[in-house]
Structure 1
């Protein structure tokens, strides 16, 4: 399921930047499917209220070598720098990672280690994760939430976890996953309103 394309922006009007970061490493990736589901719903909610949206997805696996190089010797490629700036300048952020050994993937963490944490303060973030079984559901609260709280983000109360049982064979969400995604996206959009009011 492809992510929603960016909406055209009238001259002189700044679009709301919605960036999704997916840490999936397999192909096809259920993590990417979950990321697309959340991004599509966010764009649809905002568009329904007349908000212009610039939506994009960053695949962390596309930057794996650059992330390693930047971590070890401090040299960043232009592509990696653009990806990091997109995250830092986003108005709304959606992040999703597969579960490895009870936590987020290493490349997902390494990517966010390179993000300027000061640019993340008060940024609304929706947390999501995928795993083989529902036993990994707590990864959102035990691993992801502390990471983004450290950076000072405004974290959406509802996290979205999806296991194999939450998808059809064609990678369409089951009704209960779709419902939870709707609830989380609704909170993310309201967080954007609260930040604008503040």
Structure 2
């Protein structure tokens, strides 16, 4: 059985977090679908709330701290990415944006990705299409067609909206699994071996 690595980025703030819960369900569904395709999946979860201070320091100094560097490397080296954010002001939250801002250029180019979000009302679901998907298109990730949004009513036991969420999770996970399974396993070069030149950092580019 071949093996692939899936990185899961959760930008939830609270504990417990519906964002993390959705991320876990997407990861489990993707791993299960990959196994059905004869591919073993190793899943690494990155909680951005644990790296908040280092993210700000990275933006100010241009260099990641040890734990943030390890998290960035997990994403860079992964064969597939699941990225989940809570909806703040009709968009992704600041932690989510900071994390993807400090990734080295081209880190996500061609990488299969699944995007998802949580929010207090279903009216915020379009944030995935007008904010999150364009961000990953800019980063040149290969984003699965189905994005997954969950509102509080989606978590009811056995209800129609809960069944709809289950179906969307299964469809999105299947799309990501298909993209990951056909892509050769590869490990990206360590981005910290060739850091951004100091002159470029001074120019803010």
TM-score when normalising by structure 1: 0.87
The equivalent residue for 2:92 is: 104
How far apart are residue 70 of structure 1 and its match? 0.7
How far apart are residue 107 of structure 1 and its match? 0.9
Which of 59, 63, 68 lines up with 1:71 in the alignment?
A: 59
Q: Secondary structure at the match of 1:18?
A: strand
Gaps of 5+ in 1: 1-12
Task: Confirm or deny: 8 A CA contact 2:7 2:44 kept in the other structure.
Answer: yes
Distance (Å, rounded) in 2 between the aligned partners of 1:193 and 1:115: 24
Q: Secondary structure at the match of 1:118?
A: coil
Note the aligned Cα RMSD (angstroms).
Answer: 1.7
The equivalent residue for 1:161 is: 149
Q: Secondary structure at the match of 2:63?
A: coil
Distance (Å, rounded) in 2 between the aligned partners of 1:168 and 1:117: 41
The equivalent residue for 2:103 is: 115
Any idea what the Cα deviations from partners look like across 1:49-96, whole Å, max 9, x if unmatched?
Answer: 331221111000000000010111223211100100111111010000
In the comparison of the two structures, how many residue pairs are matched? 182
* Greater Cα offset, 150-159 or 186-195: 186-195
The equivalent residue for 1:92 is: 80
How far apart are residue 141 of structure 1 and its match? 0.5
Is 2:11 the counterpart of 1:59?
A: no
Is 2:146 the counterpart of 1:126?
A: no
The equivalent residue for 1:81 is: 69
Q: Secondary structure at the match of 1:93?
A: strand
The equivalent residue for 1:33 is: 21
Distance (Å, rounded) in 2 between the aligned partners of 1:53 and 1:39: 9
How far apart are residue 117 of structure 1 and its match? 3.0
Runs of 4+ in 1 over 4 A off after TM superposition: none
Is 2:133 the counterpart of 1:151?
A: no
How far apart are residue 48 of structure 1 and its match? 2.4
How far apart are residue 14 of structure 1 and its match? 6.5
Gaps of 5+ in 2: 185-205
The equivalent residue for 1:23 is: 11
How far apart are residue 20 of structure 1 and its match? 0.5
Q: Which structure's CA Rg is the greater one?
A: 2
Distance (Å, rounded) in 2 between the aligned partners of 1:188 and 1:68: 31
Distance (Å, rounded) in 2 between the aligned partners of 1:135 and 1:105: 17
